[in-house]
Amino acid sequence: MAADDVLLEIEDLRTHFLLDDGVVCAVDGVDLRVRKGETLAIVGESGCGKSVMARSILRLVDPPGQIEGGKITLHRESGPVELVGADRKLLRQIRWNDIAMVFQEPMASLSLVHTIGSQIVEAVRLHENVGKAAARNRAIEMLDRVGIPMPQRRVDAYPFELSGGMRQRAMIAMALACRPSLLIADEPTTALDVTTQAQILELLRDLQDEFGMAIMLITHDLGVAAQVADSMAVMYLGRVVEYGGAEQVLAEPRHPYTKALLRSMPRLGRAARTRLTAIKGMVPPPYARPEGCAFHPRCDAVMAGRCDTVLPRRVPLREPVGDREVTCLLYEEES
Ligand SMILES: Nc1ncnc2c1ncn2[C@@H]1O[C@H](COP(=O)(O)OP(=O)(O)OP(=O)(O)O)[C@@H](O)[C@H]1O
Ligand SMILES: [Mg+2]
């Protein structure tokens, strides 16, 4: 049973790609929840399944990818809805209205042949019973809200007429025009310079306060996660290996993978020029998932004869502050 404050709950989600030379288990048993109004950061190395997991929520995974199992429950005010089995009509209602998504490259989701304004107007009118003029006013208001100068004029601009940062703002305006309760942002600032990145993150935070929406922020940048996240989920090879309050996870990581990930990242406050340690080995290809715990070949706390044979379960830990869950055999005895 979900607690009252849970907005989205993912249980044992599996999304696989059925290719000629094998099955890529991109998402392989993800358990996760997003609370109302919070920012949950999803972190992990490239290829660990962050984007496929996020796209699975709105069923935006293209063939040969398909959801093989699991449950995704959205807790709406009118009651819970199940997204994995939802029909197209329900999904259309939910997209933009309840859950909106922003990608790293806005050009991939904006139409090139329509003006920014007409795309926002269309999204609004698809979901709300408002006239063209009112929807256009909403578009101008949203462009203004995301900090696009001269919104009255820019509303008639085409995406290619805007800079990268402005396009990302326009994408956010479009995503928020229907006031979703969850915004999924997949590396929304990765393609931008540092200053623009900081501005966009601040904008997201302001809009979150104003609209009371939750944000699932996907990033491989732990610095970004530290800046904005309330909670944090660390993914490795298609599973969540550690979950908890962002501050707590960053200050006292429990899973050997989280510890290694933190050691490999430049940290605020660390003396300049101290050497970072790369995580040993490479992420194995996802069609060759190691037996037992998938991280065991790279883990410096590996227990021979156990970690290479037993699939770890999620272990809830008793922590001084907040919830913590770690999927690691080191902690199974403890619980
Ligand atoms: N269309 C596809 N066909 C086959 N495999 C795919 C496809 N899309 C993704 N994958 C595989 O699924 C796995 C997870 O990919 P995903 O894009 O979710 O990683 P990610 O964590 O978002 O990485 P990044 O940080 O680089 O964005 C990868 O091994 C990837 O190769
Ligand atoms: Mg990705």
Separation of 65 CA from ligand 1 center, angstroms?
Answer: 10
Residue 318 sits in the same domain as residue 226: yes
103 belongs to a structural domain: no
pLDDT tens for 137-171 read 999 998 998 889 999 999 999 999 998 888 888 98
pLDDT tens for 188-207 read 888 778 888 888 888 889 88
Residue 320 sits in the same domain as residue 263: yes
Total number of domains constituting the chain: 2
pLDDT tens for 51-90 read 999 999 999 998 999 999 999 999 999 999 999 989 999 9
Residue 287 sits in the same domain as residue 211: yes
Residue 229 sits in the same domain as residue 128: no
Residue 270, classified by CB atoms within 10 Å of its CB into exposed (0-12), middle (13-18) or buried (19+), is exposed
Q: Whose CA is nearest to atom 18 of ligand 1?
A: 49
Residue 20 sits in the same domain as residue 140: no
Q: Is 52 in the pocket of ligand 1 (CB under 6 A)?
A: yes
Separation of 329 CA from ligand 1 center, angstroms?
Answer: 26
Among 160, 179, 198, the domain boundary falls at 179
Give the Å distances, CA to CA, from 33 to 9, 10, 39, 323: 4, 6, 11, 12
Among 179, 205, 234, the domain boundary falls at 179
Nearest to 261 by CA among 321, 319, 297, 220: 220
Residue 86 sits in the same domain as residue 221: yes
For the domain that residue 293 is a member of, what is the CATH number?
A: 3.40.50.300
Q: Whose CA is nearest to atom 13 of ligand 1?
A: 26
Average pLDDT, the chain: 89
Which amino acid is residue 287, in one-letter code?
Y
* Average pLDDT rounded to a whole number, residues 275-298: 81
Residue 184 sits in the same domain as residue 144: no
Among 128, 163, 179, the domain boundary falls at 179
Band (335; pLDDT cuts 50, 70, 90): low
Residue 168 sits in the same domain as residue 266: no
Residue 240 sits in the same domain as residue 94: yes
Q: Which atom of ligand 1 is nearest to the CA of 285?
A: 29
Domain carrying residue 151: 109-179
Please give the angle made by the CA atoms of 188, 287 and 222, to the nearest 5 degrees: 30
Q: Is 284 in the pocket of ligand 1 (CB under 6 A)?
A: no
Q: Which ligand is nearest the CA of 52, by number?
A: 1
